[in-house]
Amino acid sequence: SAVISQKPSRDICQRGTSLTIQCQVDSQVTMMFWYRQQPGQSLTLIATANQGSEATYESGFVIDKFPISRPNLTFSTLTVSNMSPEDSSIYLCSAGQGSVTGNTIYFGEGSWLTVV
């Protein structure tokens, strides 16, 4: 399994500002993803963080709003830009590795953002 650390764990942000969330994995992983979980909802995939190249975004998410970096196999950042109250959510970093049996992904503790 992979141990994933995220920071900040929680923050209150002013609308119109941007915040960068960091994700550190304790081992090299092939796959890193960013999810959003709105209050009382399930997890929604924002994008796949690709090492050394641009992230791959899911429908409804764009790079200008959620720029992502992944400079190496253990680290990624997600920025939530020009925040509005609708961006208040838990943002979760996940990482996974394939194996002979299959693929599994693990999660960090999440970053709980409240936009006021």
| Residue choice 14, 39, 42, 52 for contact with another protein (CB under 8 A) | 42
CA distance 86 to 9: 19
| CA-wise closest residue to 2 among 89, 91, 93 | 93
Site for another protein in 60-99 (CB under 8 A): 90, 92, 94, 96, 98
We find the least distance from the C-beta atom of residue 16 to another protein, in angstroms, to be 26
| CA-wise closest residue to 37 among 105, 115, 113 | 113
Query: In the chain, what are the helix, strand and coil shares in percent, each to the nearest 5?
Result: 5, 55, 45
Asked if 53 is part of the footprint of another protein (rule: CB under 8 A), the reply reads no
Contact positions toward another protein, by CB under 8 A?
Answer: 1, 4, 6, 31, 33, 35, 42-45, 48, 58, 90, 92, 94, 96, 98, 101-110, 112
